[in-house]
């Protein structure tokens, strides 16, 4: 942990942790408990629960699901990790509304996560100029806490999520109406049930730790806006920003985090950073701005 005091009287709190200990919601629980104690309480309002046996593999373990998220993808693309640059992009409330106008009626129930993830996936695929017949996948980190019966205890702070992969070809993703991508994201989220996380635990026991591969054709998104770290109060009020300090490192071509933030005009919204090669970044920015401005795309029924 590191605290940097600023001349204006504010401060920056940075925490680095090992993700094997807890996930985003577990981290939020820890930070909230820390902030409560800093404000003078004697014990946190939510007591921590270890309970790792709640997510143990079956005996005997067995693989009963096709885990596309752990499949290795061989990119037929020159390595360009040495030329990666980072930029941040911001979704205003008006931008989310603009995206929602691009999808058919039967998808109007979809979440903000579905919309912005589909937008990133489509823009990124176009920007990377992936061949039309090549498979592309978007891995969504889906919280499983509310999907157990009985539910996990409130104080459980371990990892309780899985990476579910939406898979299609680059040609279908880019040529179909925007609703096609949204429907893929929405559908794969629905696969997150208690049984799916059980399958993942079994897979880990049988094959060891399975690595996730972020590549040109494979990327991951994590929706940290729901964790709402900006609401944490150490006694000085709410934070100006709460989220990752950097959206990965130079070797992470395909991972982005969505965090809540305000732009320079004071507008609330969602911000994300992305690493891409310089030329691809320019194409991504053009596609991104086009999607947010283009509200006249046909409302095709998929």
DSSP element (H, E) containing 54: none
- Find out whether 101 and 295 touch, Cβ atoms under 8 Å: yes
Token digits for 67?
């885990």
- Other C-beta atoms within 10 Å of 199: how many? 20
Q: Which of 19, 106, 154, 290 is catalytic?
A: 19
Question: Does the active-site annotation cover 233?
Answer: yes
75 labelled catalytic:
no
Residue in 67, 75, 135, 233 annotated catalytic: 233
Query: In terms of DSSP bridges, do strands 218-223 and 255-262 run parallel, antiparallel, or are they unpaired?
Result: parallel
Question: Helices 112-127 & 93-100, crossing angle to 10 degrees?
Answer: 80
Is residue 17 a contact partner of residue 165, using CB atoms and an 8 Å limit? no
Q: Rounded CA gap, 107 and 8, in Å?
A: 46
Smallest CA-to-CA distance from 242 within 256, 252, 231 is with 231
User: Residue 136 region, left (φ>0) first, then alpha (ψ -120 to 50), else beta?
Assistant: beta
Within 10 angstroms of residue 68's Cβ, the number of other Cβ atoms is 17
- What DSSP character marks residue 269? E
The C-alpha atoms of residue 65 and residue 87 are separated, in whole angstroms, by 36
Q: Looking at the annotation, which residues are catalytic? A: 19, 233
């Amino acid at each position: 942990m590191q605290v940097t005091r600023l001349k204006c009287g504010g401060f920056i709190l940075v925490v680095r942790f090992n993700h094997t200990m807890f996930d985003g919601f577990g981290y939020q629980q820890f930070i909230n408990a820390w902030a409560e104690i800093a404000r003078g309480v004697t014990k946190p309002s939510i007591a921590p629960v270890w309970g790792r046996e709640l997510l143990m593999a079956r005996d005997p373990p067995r693989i009963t699901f096709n885990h596309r998220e752990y499949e290795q993808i061989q990119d037929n693309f020159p390595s360009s990790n040495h030329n990666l640059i980072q930029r941040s992009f911001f979704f205003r409330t008006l931008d989310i509304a603009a995206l929602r106008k691009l999808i058919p009626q039967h998808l109007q129930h979809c979440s903000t996560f579905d919309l912005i993830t589909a937008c990133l996936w489509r823009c990124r695929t176009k920007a990377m100029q992936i061949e039309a017949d090549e498979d592309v996948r978007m891995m969504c980190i889906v919280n499983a806490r509310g999907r157990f019966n009985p539910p996990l205890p409130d104080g459980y702070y371990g990892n309780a999520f899985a990476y579910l992969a939406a898979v299609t070809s680059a040609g279908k993703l880019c040529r179909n109406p925007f609703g096609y991508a949204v429907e893929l994201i929405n559908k794969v989220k629905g696969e997150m049930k208690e049984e799916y996380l059980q399958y993942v635990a079994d897979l880990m026991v049988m094959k060891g730790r399975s690595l996730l591969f972020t590549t040109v054709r494979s990327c991951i998104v994590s929706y940290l806006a729901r964790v709402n770290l900006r609401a944490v109060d150490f006694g000085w009020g709410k934070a100006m920003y709460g989220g990752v300090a950097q959206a990965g490192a130079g070797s992470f071509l395909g991972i982005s985090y969505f965090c809540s933030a305000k732009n320079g005009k004071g507008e609330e919204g969602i911000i994300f950073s992305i690493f891409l090669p310089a030329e691809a970044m320019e194409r991504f920015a053009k596609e991104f701005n086009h999607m947010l401005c283009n509200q006249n795309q046909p409302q095709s029924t998929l």
